[in-house]
Structure 1
């Protein structure tokens, strides 16, 4: 490697993508350092999908305790203690933070627990004033929650702070129509909050199939979640008793105890010195990269949510791996295929999808066939829960190739992982039809749709 520099690789940001890239680069023999101004692990591990999924698990017990009575169980005086769940979740976050740190240390990666800024060609300056040089620089700083620009926005919280609340709000307003808004709406609703979602349009989860979006809205309303569409903030005022009065367009004022902003995420690229060293950014502040994660500056790369690609943790990890193998590995350059990436929304019930929606397929392919199964899960039948699931398969009419699968059902993400392999591999409806079902399961509907 290049002895003229202090390091062969300097990574800014120790999230999922940055940690993977640094670890793999070190395993290829590179001298690696990484800087993280918050905690090792990044958004997903520290304040995102991992602690969020634990809250989702905790929320599911509310319905399980209610449903179990039809299965012969009696649970008297069941109570929920938010602080117990919160503290146990945060303790596990601490454990994961330690494991990620240990992984880096075991690969001899130097960790700087401070902010790092690009201050010259191949030069990084740390908050302590220390200046280091690196042959290659990787930006993996992720994204941060966006706050709406309205009077009183300082009274609201984001998903970052939601994991640290002192108590479950009796009344919570959640702003946004994406996956974060719908996930936290389901969580707090099960914990007993009166939940209101406001959204500036009338569309939830706009990247998902319309049938699933409509089904989630219907079920969420049945569960008692209130929706206010075409609503934008006018202002938030804090009252003497600590409550908040929210004024918005097209709707009456609303008094709540907590406002949670879930209105999207912005690439964390400010104050890093990127533009000063010539790195091109997009209109939203995202770092523009090529298929090998390289910026317009030859020695600077970027992976994960700070770029203009798919904002998902597994994608960031793949990008970090590909970068390290390309720049430091012995083989050919590796590019990540960003097509046909499966995803999930851990709402109540969850949504999972891979490939094109029905609308996208009609626009792109023209002639398609749509198969679906609209059913009531066996557990819901016995529990007396009037909640239906929906599976949908989109196929190219001429070839029978499956171009999309969409589900809203209990455990939909667990089923989708295997189904996504089949779609990515280009299998056909006939291949699914030729597969014997596992009965009785919800997953059997995947091979029984007509």
Structure 2
């Protein structure tokens, strides 16, 4: 392993731009080494990183306990603390996800398409790493491991900037990951964690054009809007997870209740959590469905027709239909059929994940075809909006835009392509 030559300024004293520049220069050199490694070697290094994470569990959990204590003292919400919390099972899941990424097929080198021109020139379009990826994220320490694993698997270098609320957890996870990766021959500088919590470092990353090739923000609306507004580097992002579930008139009542409860309450603080429930006016068990949600501890804010179903419903404001609660709060509206549901989703969805529950196959197909979200579901909980559940091992985020990648972004979404042209002496007339 070749040691990088850039001089890293002190985290406390450095100008943020100088700090990010030094990290990015090291990352660029490390990425070239990483991309030249055989795919099998990168996979083996990730398995060592997963093992190092498991071995470091006591240290990581102790660090996480510090973050949780600080978060409670700062008054973080229950949903935010849930995002932050690691226990033995969750940490084991993080390590398992790293190992799962190692076992995934590597898309790098894949021939996307090929052709031969009449003059004998042969063209191939092949997948290659993007280069240096900057990941800016909040709350969830598992992102440190997921992002590192996904980037390394396809030969990208990663520069990680986690939120202050998870600083101890992130540093512990990063240290364990790097220990395993280095043991597998990966340059330590291929996965770097910004050592300063100075917010100006985020701005320096966003303007590091030519040093960082893509920024991936994972966090709340304020973070993502800032990144999208200030970035001079391409951004792969989504804003809110304003996920809808529409209970059609032909939905099985037991299935509808099970899916609605799971979609809202399994974990309220994730972006795949349902935030709005639409109930068809012709669905026969509307009152029972609303009651089940409230009885399970969910605050229901509804339109007038929903309020008529249960006296415990709180009147919804116009802002509720555009709010990502990330809490045990749900907006509920009664709608007059599929067209009304589609119109509501078109007005208020963030294009993340929307679902329909129905036994009518024709209605389901219309919904799947006409809802223009990154993920559209039939008879399933929106909580499945997760790269691991899609068989991707892990994800670096869920993209709601329409360019480059959409939905859960994993290995393929972290590649670009280049053209290779092979000739036999052709010159252009």
Same fold (TM over 0.5): no
Question: Which of structures 1 and 2 has the larger relative contact order (alpha carbons within 8 angstroms, sep 6+)?
Answer: 2
Place the TM-score, normalised by the shorter chain, in its bin. under 0.3
Q: What is the TM-score when the length of structure 2 is the normalising length?
A: 0.24
Higher relative strand content: 1
Q: What is the TM-score when the length of structure 1 is the normalising length?
A: 0.24
